[in-house]
Structure 1
C-alpha cells in the first residue's frame, strides 16, 4: 500500500467509467425531477378543492426552492480543475480563489434554501398547528430542497470523475 493515499481501501474501478458517469448524470436528473414533482404536487394540492384547511402555498414557499436551484446551477457550473491551482497568492491570474469563492456562494445558496424550507415549514405550518394534509405543504418543501441538494452532489461527483482514458484536447 502506498504511503501517499488518504484512505485504506481503493476506489472501485467500475466507479470510474463512462457508463457510471452517464448513470450519475441520469440519477441526478431523476432526483431533480422528483424534487420538482414534490413541490408542484404540494402547490397544486394546496390550491385544490380537496384542501379543507386555511393553509395555502404562496410565493414565500417557493423562495427556498429558487435558492436551492440557483445554488445547484452555480455549483455545477464550476469545473473541478479550476479549484486547484494557485494557493491564495496574489501572483498569477487568481482563477482558483475566484472559483472557490463562487463555489462557496453556490453551497451557501443551497444551504440557505434548505434552511429556508425548514424555516417556512416551522413558522408557517408547525407553529400555527397545521394538521397532516396541510402539513404536507411544508414537508414537501423540505423534501424538495433536500432532493435538489442530493441531486447537486450526485451531478458534481459524476461530472468530475477522472477517467484514465479521457483525453483533453487543448490548442
Structure 2
C-alpha cells in the first residue's frame, strides 16, 4: 500500500467515469432544488387559509437556507488541488492556507445555516407548542438545510473525482 494513501480501501472504478461525475452533479442539483422546494412549499402553505394558525414563515425562517446556500457556493468554488498547493506547484505564494481558510468559512456558513434552522424550529415552533401542521414549517426548514448540506457533499465529491480522460490546462 502506498504511503500517500489516506484510506486502506480503494475507490470503485465506476466512480472515476465521466458518467458518474455528471450523475453526481445532476443529483446534487436535484437535491438542492428539492431542498429549496420544501421550504418554498412550507412558506406558501403558511400563508394559506389551511394553516389555521397565526404563525407564518417570514424572513427569519429563510435566513438559515440563505447561509447554507452561501456555504455551498463557497465550498464548491474551491478546487481540491488548491488545498495542498503549497507542497508542489504553488510554493511560496501561500495559496493552500488561503484556500483552507475560505473552505473553513464555507463549512462554518453551512453549519451555521443548519444550526439556525434547528434554532428556528426549537424557538418558534417547539417552545411555543404549535400544533402538528404548523410545526411542519419548522421541520421543513431543518429538512431543507439538511438537503443543502447533502447537495454540497455530493457536488464536492463529484467535482473532485479524477477522470483519466480529463486534462488540466494551466498557463
Q: For this structure pair, what is the TM-score category when the shorter chain's length is used for normalisation? A: over 0.9
Match of 1:40 in 2: 40
Q: Distance in 2 between matches of 1:71 and 1:145?
A: 11
Match of 2:54 in 1: 54
Answering whether residue 156 of structure 2 is matched by residue 156 of structure 1, we say yes
Answering whether residue 144 of structure 2 is matched by residue 144 of structure 1, we say yes
Match of 1:121 in 2: 121
Match of 1:29 in 2: 29
| Alpha-carbon RMSD | 1.3
Q: Distance in 1 between matches of 2:21 and 2:74?
A: 20
Which runs of 5 or more residues in structure 2 are unaligned?
none
TM-score normalized by the length of structure 2 = 0.94
Match of 2:78 in 1: 78
TM-score normalized by the length of structure 1 = 0.94
Shift of 1:168: 1.5
Runs of 4+ in 1 over 6 A off after TM superposition: none
Shift of 1:79: 1.0
Answering whether residue 92 of structure 2 is matched by residue 92 of structure 1, we say yes
Q: Distance in 2 between matches of 1:58 and 1:76?
A: 28
Q: How many residues align?
A: 167
